[in-house]
Structure 1
Amino acid sequence: MEGESVTLHTGVETNQQDRIRWYFNDTRIAQITGYISFICTDVQCNEGTGRFRDRLKLNNQTGSLTIMNARTTDSGDYKLLFSNGNIKTFSVTVTGASGVDTDIMSVSVMEGDSVTLHTGVETNQQDRIRWYFNDTRIAQITGDLSKTCTDVQCNKGTERFRDRLKLDNQTGSLTIMNITNTDSGLYKARMSNGIIKKFNVTVTGASGVDTDIMSVSVMEGDSVTLHTGVETNQQDRIRWYFGDTRIAQISGDFSKTCTDVQCNEGTERFRDRLKLDHQTGSLTIMNITNTDSGVYKAHMSNDIIKKFNVTVTGASGDDTDIMSVSVMEGDSVTLHTGVETNQQDRIRWYFGDTRIAQITGDLRKICTDVQCNEGTERFRDRLKLDHQTGSLTIMNTGITDSGVYKLLMSNDIIKTFSVTVTAVSDSTAAASAVGAAVLLVAAACMM
């Protein structure tokens, strides 16, 4: 039941040599080992994963995991990995308390306006109200003032509503100010008496909003400017979005002018490639790549929205053939560029849309995996770049490494590799190999 505690039992007694790791989905949330310095729960195991903040407890004798004050968002598969190779899986379902209010109230609001979601109660020192947008906690009020929070105070890194949320200390009602269409969605208020209130918020464009989409085509490696068509002044505020992610903002308050990671910590897609015109708010994307294709939106303080559908095309002569590569799990594979690099060459490797390696004449900008993008540790210590050719070697491959790898070169050549990692043919061995791959990834996280 939501709000209660649940213990997932290992069924063993640990000793100094035992190592137990707990995972929720694919994220390590707890670990116990003979070395005290390696015992951790939640954010201690993985910085930034504060889902269970202060709600996990490990039994030092058995390694059993207790989840306190369980929430419906804690439902899912929990995996327990032992140092002897055994795996235990627990499917946890958290149900709402009896008498929970599941009616959904529909709320419509004009973009740029404010809206208040009412709890309909008076709080007291014992009451605790938590607000969620989808499954992310965005606000909380409690008798302990030190635990009252909104947005990034509740969850580091979740800055969607930066300075736009206000809590009523008497009722716990939530006000969203200067609302945008990306704020549309399901909001839930969870109260300590078990009642849940749900609000389906729809944000509509103001009258006269420009909804036309301007199509823009640009060659990979070039720069493109998305024009607002206005002159800004001290009062104007222009926000740029790529999809639903804010990537740039200009305001009369220079301390709030930002691009990319300055706007949202951890969103480094455009690292050092965005430039804002301080007179017009127009946005320039430099050294554009095909992963930058998509819809860009400019939200202006006068309620006008401009949309740009940007398509990035490869240069003429681009190599668009896909090379199929098959490798046995545990072996190494090299993806060859077929070229010799020089000081001017820049080669970038992508797995899906994530940059995983780069080589350039500037030694400071040569990187692999987490060095290229903080937080993307899929290949931890398993990638090697050939400094002469830029070829990429993936060592100790796992089945999760299967997929499409793209090579982008500064001479506009694109090479695509479809990599398939296969397990041994025997079905029993294949099942063991899957478990071994999970253990391999988990062990790599501790290196």
Structure 2
Amino acid sequence: MKIALIHVLFLLFEICVFVDADIETVSVTEGDSVTLHTNVTEIQSSDVIEWRLNGSRIATISDDSIITEGSSRDRPKLDKQTGDLMITNIRTTDSGEYKLKIRNTRGSSEQTFSVSGVSGVDEVKSVSVIVGDSVTLNSGTIIQRDDVIEWRFLNSPIAEHNRKTGNFSTSDGPDGRFRHRLQLDPQTGSLTIRKTGPKHSGFYEAVIRKSSRTHTIHRSYSVTASGEMKSALSVKEGESVTLNSDLTEIQRYDLMLWMFEDTVIAEIIKAQKRFSIYDDFPDERFRDRLKLDEKTGSLTITDTRTEHDGLYELKINSIRFNIHKRITVTVSDPGLSAGTVVGISVGVVLLAYAVAAAVIYYRHWISELKARIDPQRVFEGESITLNPDGVLQDDTLLWMFRGAHIAARESAALGFTVHDQRFGGRLELDDKTGSLTIMNTIAADSGLYELQIIRSGKISGKRFFVSVFINIPEENNRNNPEDVPLTTVYG
């Protein structure tokens, strides 16, 4: 009797309706495409696939027929073999609850996807760069375990980040045009194209397959590399020179940094309406000489002097892309002829190398403080960890923020002491590694963080430039923590 009852229960279990109560959260940026997967290898003739948005049916597969309904029926696309739903060029109005229902002779199953579309008011997908500049196409995500990101150019694979298989590679492209130019970020999978040329213009796509295997995000970028390389500018002493950003207008969430000899001299954080000039260079050579164009981000140096000779760098960090520009400025005596200027310029370059070598020799203890800055960002409310790397247990550490001491460690055994209470208990310090974590960040936490490491009487250090962006207004529906990098570390 018991065996018969168990058999009946088993049959009932097989034919009952299965409902998957789990809701898969999917966040995308306006203009992206997203594929919601059924995880069906092949639809059988008896299967009926039905997709609904907020209760209204939008697509059905039944008896080998595909029917799409609703106001946006041209954009949802159904895969006839698997029943996967692809929503192209997604808009904020496509946000909502997508419900998948699969019915067949064995019963039915359901899966719910909560899709949120982030407003793309400043999500510029069309990226213009000057020939010779570098550009980074941001994936907009942090790589999770088993995530796979594949980059394509004109539909040909050129790079892949697959942590599960260990494939972390770039290619030269089908015709070799990307030789030695592509670089993948191991944390985000973002793609950098160095020394761009006209042949690198075209359509790029990031195909992001999430580890949950329930959905795939497609992000597209149109890159145009044109114009002449602006790697060198010449100006006579006393005149003004403008270093152009080559932007028509700064976008809402852009971050821009102008640097001279690896030191930040100007900063723009559009979201915070911050247009800052740091003309108190160590020797004040830029005092009252810098002007920022608040529309384009171009930088003007007035009343130039020969001490303004050197390499200037501009880093533009947007949610979609990063651009890195380098401009060499040569300031000459107005009384010299062109031929003399060329000759002296060569001599000055050679002399500069000799002087630089001497400076490095005598100022070795601060050489690491001139470390290169790689700007990213963090949004208000998120946490960020500044990792110094390579710290030893007996090292003395001194953390500073905007020149003021905020924490110190005499040794790992004695632990850290916090000197500045402006963070209100939001600092966490790792006694062993020396890492500094800022929790629940606010806009006032933005700025330059410096770490001095004292080891055997010698001083070295690292710098971190943190920019905390204000939270995007609720009307933009931005609730996706994977759409932007979660850390902002410069060092």
Pairwise TM-score range, normalised by the shorter structure: under 0.3
Question: What TM-score results when the alignment is normalised by the length of structure 2?
Answer: 0.26
> 1 or 2 for the larger relative contact order (CA 8 Å, sep ≥6)?
2
Larger Rg: 2
